[in-house]
């Protein structure tokens, strides 16, 4: 027989071995349950959740999800803090999604947040698109693969400096429409959209083995707050369709108390950490964890203004201060991306200001996904807080300078009209959204041309019915521009007989924030007067410039060699030849005035000589070896060449106050 002490030693040894085995199993299958205590953070336990190491066998026991208890988050019953970063799949080429996620991980983040844009997923009423760059399921699954949890912000309103805050423009066909309320016409449309969206989202929730740990109810409703029943409606619309994870709201300080809804955690948005700001959360909800849903790492730009930047040291010091309070944080934006096409939003406070194409935002990563000083400063901070080594940052992709590109052919808009476009005839001017187009959902974006007959000249007055900017022509002669500030022009007298008066109206982007959402119809929204008489009997041409139109444009006859000097509106085309594997580049349009650029059918967005933005981002995946077709729609003064450069220029900088 073994002596008693030997049995005790064997028993202790067996227990020690069992503990080692259990620890190894936890490390292999449940790394999310292994806490790492952080020294720099006061009274805070931080956890690393490594999603990529979870196997299907490790998913069966995950039932609790993200919870709140005693002023802290719990995930699967263990203390957890959210270190998040915003990145929008619809602003980043699909080929680069994973690269940006790996950079999030390398910065020390554990959570990705994204909005969901209704106006892209349901461009036409009843027709839903979750394919290609809009494949939300693929995006969220890729986040899971790369070890990132997800906070989903499905709207229906998202703000985001995006046209109409992500709401589809066809909602505005209803003259009585009340957006973001329980108005029946709005809620019926939301219900139909959520029916489809939630089929994608629900299976990707944490409790079903997916990465989604929280879902936001609407967005910054406290700054709108037109209907006290609306937030409850949105909450129930989510719950009734199978959302089971933690609900959150998101507001700035002034909107916090007006954006609450029972059963959802209130979070706050800001850039400068005012004294007592986080403690203010305690006044609207007691004993709940503090979360900064949007810590603004930079700011967006408007045409005609500066390129805003936010000091990197000030930003990182503020993030450190937030973390020292024990709060969770989401960096808005970690990576901004681009407002490709006509999707930029606008502001309307004292005056209307449309946003530029770039959504660089002076964020942690640049518009093209490159590192900034903010990235490395934040990486150092998060590394100290987490207390363990972070993944190495991925290599950055080199950028190409393909040099000068000659635009050698052009065709006037006036020559395109009879060849490609059938006008809508109307006695009265019709706004874009109510044009009988696209299966009766109207025209959402781009330009619209209004043409009528006049018999002489005189005083033209819009009575502020132009949205947003109109070029005025008599026949093909340019007369001037009309917009919010210029509402009248003198039309010159001509020879006896009728002449064509043409108004080429651009929708520069719908307002995405504030109380004016219901007034965002575009084109001519009312009568225009000549000598105090309203104009009548219009031919209306839709210039949405969709892919089918751009393809037809290439085949139309009438393209000519560009002369030494030519004034638009006109389309210009040239070819970029690439010998090697295509790389990202930036197009500089010096000498051009205002318009839109298409490359291989992809709409890169708008340019405008008033700045601040001077280059357009052209992603490498949108190029191909060999010939690449470039088409430019120029409203006025055209150059002969554009430059492909390897460095962006977003304009003169101004620090955010």
Q: Kindly tell me the burial class for residue 584, based on how many C-beta atoms sit within 10 Å of its own C-beta (0-12, 13-18, 19 or more).
A: buried
- CA-CA distance, 141 to 143, in Å (whole number)? 5
- DSSP alpha helix (H) spans, 64-175: 97-107, 118-121, 136-145
- CA-CA distance, 220 to 235, in Å (whole number)? 14
- CA-CA distance, 282 to 79, in Å (whole number)? 20
CB 109 within 8 A of CB 379: no
Q: What HEC string does 333-365 produce?
A: EEECCECCCCCECEEECCCEEEECCECCCCCCE
Task: State CA 68 to chain mean position distance.
Answer: 29
CB 343 within 8 A of CB 334: no
Closest CA to 76 of 34, 20, 28, 27: 34
- CA-CA distance, 608 to 36, in Å (whole number)? 51
For 190, residues 6+ apart whose C-beta sits below 8 A from its C-beta are 156, 234, 237
**What is residue 138's three-state secondary structure?**
helix
Q: Dihedral of CA 203/204/210/212: which sign?
A: negative
Kindly state the DSSP code that residue 637 receives in the 8-state scheme.
Answer: B
CB 185 within 8 A of CB 175: no
Exactly one of 220, 245, 433, 544 is catalytic; which is it?
A: 220
- CA-CA distance, 290 to 351, in Å (whole number)? 35
> Between the CA of residue 650 and those of 369, 508, 587, 588, 647, what are the distances in Å?
15, 19, 12, 11, 10
**What is residue 454's three-state secondary structure?**
strand
Closest CA to 30 of 74, 78, 69, 68: 78
- For the question of residue 294 being annotated catalytic, the response is yes
Backbone torsions φ then ψ of 425, nearest 5 degrees:
-100, 130
CB 510 within 8 A of CB 343: no
Q: Dihedral of CA 142/144/148/152: which sign?
A: positive
Exactly one of 245, 294, 614, 634 is catalytic; which is it?
A: 294
- DSSP alpha helix (H) spans, 337-452: 373-386, 413-420
**What is residue 278's three-state secondary structure?**
helix
- CA-CA distance, 24 to 30, in Å (whole number)? 9
- CA-CA distance, 98 to 440, in Å (whole number)? 38
CB 102 within 8 A of CB 392: no
- CA-CA distance, 517 to 502, in Å (whole number)? 28
DSSP string, 14-28: HHHHHHHHHHHHHHH
Length of the chain, please? Answer: 657
Residues forming the active site? 220, 294
């Amino acid at each position: 027989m073994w002596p008693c002490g030997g049995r005790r030693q064997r028993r202790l040894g067996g227990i020690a071995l069992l503990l080692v085995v259990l620890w190894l199993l936890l490390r292999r299958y449940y790394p999310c349950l292994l806490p790492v205590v952080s020294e720099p953070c006061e009274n805070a336990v931080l956890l690393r959740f490594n999603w990529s190491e979870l196997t299907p066998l490790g998913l069966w026991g995950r039932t609790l999800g993200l919870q709140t208890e005693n002023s802290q988050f719990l995930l699967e019953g263990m203390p957890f803090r959210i270190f998040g970063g915003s990145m929008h799949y619809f602003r980043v080429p699909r080929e680069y999604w994973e690269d940006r996620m790996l950079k999030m991980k390398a910065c020390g983040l554990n959570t990705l947040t994204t909005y969901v844009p209704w106006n892209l997923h349901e461009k036409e009423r009843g027709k839903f698109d979750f394919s290609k760059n809009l494949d939300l399921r693929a995006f969220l699954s890729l986040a899971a693969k790369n070890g990132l949890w997800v906070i989903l912000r499905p709207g229906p309103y998202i703000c985001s400096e995006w046209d109409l805050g992500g709401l589809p423009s066809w909602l505005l066909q209803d003259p009585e429409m009340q957006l973001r309320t329980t108005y029946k016409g709005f809620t019926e449309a939301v219900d139909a959209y959520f029916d489809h969206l939630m089929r994608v989202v629900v299976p990707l929730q944490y409790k079903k083995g997916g990465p989604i740990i929280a879902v936001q109810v609407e967005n910054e409703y406290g700054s709108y707050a037109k209907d006290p029943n609306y937030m409850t409606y949105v909450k129930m619309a989510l719950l009734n369709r199978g959302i089971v994870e933690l609900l959150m709201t998101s507001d700035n300080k002034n909107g916090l108390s007006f954006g609450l809804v029972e059963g959802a955690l209130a979070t706050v948005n800001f850039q400068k950490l005012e004294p007592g700001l986080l403690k203010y959360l305690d006044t609207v909800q007691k004993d709940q964890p503090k979360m900064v849903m949007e810590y603004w790492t930079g700011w967006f730009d408007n045409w005609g203004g500066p390129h805003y930047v936010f000091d990197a040291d000030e930003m990182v010091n503020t993030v450190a201060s937030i973390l020292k309070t024990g709060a969770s944080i989401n960096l808005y934006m970690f990576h901004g991306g681009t407002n490709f096409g006509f999707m930029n939003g606008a502001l309307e406070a004292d005056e209307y200001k449309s946003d530029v194409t770039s959504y660089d935002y002076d964020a942690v990563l640049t518009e093209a996904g490159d590192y900034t000083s903010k990235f490395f400063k934040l990486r150092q901070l998060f590394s100290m807080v987490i207390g363990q080594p972070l993944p190495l940052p991925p290599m950055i992709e080199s950028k190409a300078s393909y040099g000068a590109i000659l635009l050698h052919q052009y065709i006037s808009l006036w020559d395109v009209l009879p060849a490609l476009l059938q006008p809508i005839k109307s006695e009265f001017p019709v706004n874009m959204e109510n044009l009988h187009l696209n299966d009766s959902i109207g025209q959402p974006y781009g330009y619209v041309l209004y043409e009528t007959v006049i018999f002489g000249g005189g005083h033209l007055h819009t009575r502020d019915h132009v949205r947003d900017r109109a070029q005025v022509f008599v026949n093909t002669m340019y007369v001037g521009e009309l917009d919010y500030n210029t509402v009248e022009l003198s039309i010159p007298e001509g020879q006896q007989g009728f002449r064509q008066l043409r108004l080429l109206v651009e929708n520069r982007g719908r307002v995405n924030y504030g109380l004016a959402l219901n007034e965002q119809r575009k084109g001519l929204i009312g009568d225009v007067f000549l000598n105090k008489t309203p104009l009548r009997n219009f031919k209306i041409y839709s210039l949405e410039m969709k892919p089918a139109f751009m393809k037809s444009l290439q085949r139309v006859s009438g393209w000519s060699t560009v002369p030494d000097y030519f004034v638009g509106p006109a389309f210009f085309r040239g070819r970029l030849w690439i010998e090697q594997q295509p790389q990202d580049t930036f197009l500089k349009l010096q000498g051009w005035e205002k318009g839109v650029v298409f490359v291989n059918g992809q709409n890169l967005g708008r340019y405008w000589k008033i700045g601040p933005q001077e280059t357009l981002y052209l992603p490498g995946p949108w190029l191909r070896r060999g010939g690449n077709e470039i088409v430019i729609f120029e409203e006025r003064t055209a150059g002969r060449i554009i430059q492909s450069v390897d460095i962006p220029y977003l304009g003169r900088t101004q620090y955010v106050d």
